Amino acid sequence: MRGLRDKVAIVAGAAPGNIGGATAIRLAQEGMKVVAADLNAAAAQVVVDEIKSTGGYAVARGFDITDESAYKDLIEFAARDLRGLDALFNVAADLSSGTIGRDTDVRSVPLDVWERTIDVTLTGYMYGIRHALPLLIARGGGSIVNTMSSEVWMGEGQRVAYQTAKSGLIGLNRHTATVGGKQGVRSNIVAPGVTLTAAAKRILNEEYLDQMLASVRSPRLGVPEDIAAMVAFLFSDDGAYVNGQTILVDGGANLT
């Protein structure tokens, strides 16, 4: 895609087998310099090793998205050691059994699950935008992409904290598009449908996956590389006139 070579991107939540890892790999294939960041630094290093094995440029960093100072340090690292920042992809999520596995409905969701989910998926994304936006503006422009979920449109009867945190990203995204747009910074959302990530394969059973396949208007469920392709487009010059949008990448499960 046009305009990506030698640009610098942070992928915040770059674990192997998941959307972040696949996106880091795709961006490096497009010629970007990638900072693969994750709570698990060793996992991020696995992604970086794969990128380097094919001649791409990437560095791994461990960070906690719920710690504002850690996110600020991550962004400053990219600006200092890679001499700038052009793109930020927020994709981190807590999909552990202790969090999403206990995310029930509004009548019974444990408060610690609610707070943890908001901290990671909404407040954490805000931290990244807060500290990246001034650098992108000073650089003359750039692109931010946040990860949502098609569950927001489906209105499922479970995972209320997850759906609420993801819904909040719409307001954050539109605000960011307004604040940065006239200064060349675009902000968009990708909203995956059911995607066969390593994490999804751990927590979703075959019956559920069969139901989801029946609901999409495509012959298969999504894979992380599908989302990675959309992020690359939104970062590229080919996506230069897309701003403030939420783009469903769900095989046609939701027609809006």
Active site residue 127: no
The neighbouring-strand residues paired with 37 are 12, 61
Nearest-angstrom CA–CA distance, 25 and 19: 10
Give the chain's radius of gyration (CA, Å).
17
With DSSP H G I counted as helix, E B as strand and the rest as coil, what are the percentages for the chain, rounded to 5? Answer: 50, 15, 35
Check: CB of residue 235 under 8 Å from CB of residue 185. no
In degrees, rounded to 5, the angle at the alpha carbon of residue 131 between the alpha carbons of residues 127 and 132 is 110
Check: CB of residue 221 under 8 Å from CB of residue 180. no
The neighbouring-strand residues paired with 33 are 8, 57
For residue 175, give Cα distances in angstroms to 123, 125, 152, 192.
14, 13, 19, 21
Nearest-angstrom CA–CA distance, 23 and 9: 10
Nearest CA to 234 out of 193, 173, 157 is that of 173
The neighbouring-strand residues paired with 60 are 36
Nearest-angstrom CA–CA distance, 145 and 227: 11
Q: Which of 71, 125, 162, 241 is catalytic?
A: 162
- The pair of three-digit structure tokens given for residue 35, joined into one six-digit string: 């900072």
Question: Which residues form the catalytic set?
Answer: 162
